[in-house]
Structure 1
Amino acid sequence: MDTRKQFTITREFAAPREAVWRAWTDPAIAAQWWHPHEVVTPPASVRIDLRVGGTYEYLMIAPDGSEYPTGGQYLEVDEPSRLRFSWADPGDTVEEAMLITIDLAELDGGRCAMTFHLQGVDEDRVSATSVSQGWAEAFEELDDALASAAGEAVAR
């Protein structure tokens, strides 16, 4: 039995489910939000091979210049409702990787409900609280990315 920590974050976005799906799967949009506040993800660092068995990778750069490469493998791809994938540092074994499941549901009014579940936090390496806080901040960045994408679509 896996005794590592897990948590769930639920969010609603003022965007259709397809837009939220695209934010998870389009490298240009992902680069805008795959990081907590004050951290950047260079667009050129984001690579996504969206298929079961495909991989993704990206680099986060902290304000002090510290670099945090990460990535994983897609385990389930059910567009536009579910993504399941590993999330790990380079060199981590499959057993060390965390597992993320994203469920997206269409709501009335062109909104989307997202359930984000992460399991496998090894608190000897990083606290569940810091991982949860980082993702909560990333989802605030996602709000901004979705608003920006909606504004660009209206301008076209």
Structure 2
Amino acid sequence: MINTTEGFTLVRTFDATREEIWTAWTDPDSVAKWWHPRGTSTPRETVDIDARVGGRYTYAMVNDATGEKVVTGGTYLTVDPFERLAFTWGNPDDDPDDSPVVTVTLEPVADGTRMTFELRGVTGAKGDGYFYDGWDATLDSLSEHLGGPAA
């Protein structure tokens, strides 16, 4: 089992609807456009999503300079459209009970949608955590995909 006491939370407010953000997380064409930090890309042909409880997903990030590819995947644990999405995150062949868990919660607010991103089961804090920094930069890509500036 993973240590769920370790992890971090990132909160962003987007000038977008919950539906637009949900689509960005669950539609393979959208995922390919943003699910990577700068300097990497996610080729559309590497993205496979079955966004239902028990469904699986995979995608690959490719380092634009070196061509090195990292394949990531997991299993959907919670799928509450436009509100909450939870999934394991790691090597696609890992046991879900031994994988970190991402939870994305969407809440309407006056200026758009507040998205709370929580990753449990990894260490890392702002500036010193590989996972924190990678996800922070990836959420910048999501903001740009949704038509806003990198936050």
Instruction: Give the TM-score band, short-chain normalised.
Output: 0.7 to 0.9
Distance 1:121 1:48 in 2: 23
Q: What per-residue deviation string (whole Å, max 9, x for no partner) do you get for residues 14-52 of structure 1?
A: 111110111001111111111111000001111110110
Secondary structure at the aligned position of 2:121 is classed as: strand
C-alpha distance in structure 2 between counterparts of 1:27 and 1:108, whole Å: 29
**Separation of aligned partners in 1, 2:4 and 2:74:** 21
Map 1:140-155 to 2 at 5 A. Answer: 140-147=140-147
How far apart in 2 are the matches of 1:48 and 1:32?
Answer: 14
Matched residues in 2 for 1:130 and 1:37: separation? 14
SS at match of 1:32: helix
2:110 and 2:10 mapped to 1: Cα distance?
A: 20
CA RMSD of the aligned region, Å? 2.1
Contact 1:15–1:146 (CA under 8 A) maintained in structure 2: yes
CA contact (8 A) 1:4 1:122 kept: no
Q: Which runs of 5+ in 2 are unaligned?
A: none
User: Which has the larger displacement, 47-56 or 114-123?
Assistant: 114-123
**Deviation at residue 131 of structure 1 after TM alignment:** 0.5
> CA 1:52–1:18 in 2, change beyond 3 Å: closer, same or farther?
same
1:125-145 CA distance string (max 9 Å, x none): xxx711011111111111111
- The alignment's TM-score, normalised by the length of structure 1, stands at 0.85
| Aligned counterpart, 2:40 | 39
Shift in Å at residue 96 of structure 1? 3.0
The answer on whether the counterparts of 1:88 and 1:96 sit within 8 Å (CA) in structure 2 is: no
**Counterpart residue type for residue 96 of structure 1:** D
Which secondary structure state, in structure 2, belongs to the residue aligned with residue 90 of structure 1? coil
* Identical counterparts, % of pairs: 40
- Larger % of helix: which? 1
Matched, 1:121 2:122: yes
What are the within-5 Å matches in structure 2 for residues 4-153 of structure 1? 5-62=6-63, 63-109=65-111, 111-121=112-122, 129-147=129-147
1:32-89 deviations in Å (ceiling 9; x for gaps): 1111110000011111101100001000001211110001000000011000100011
Tell me the matched-pair count. Answer: 144
* TM-score normalised by structure 2 residue count: 0.88
3-state DSSP of counterpart to 1:121: coil
Q: Which amino acid aligns with 1:49?
A: D
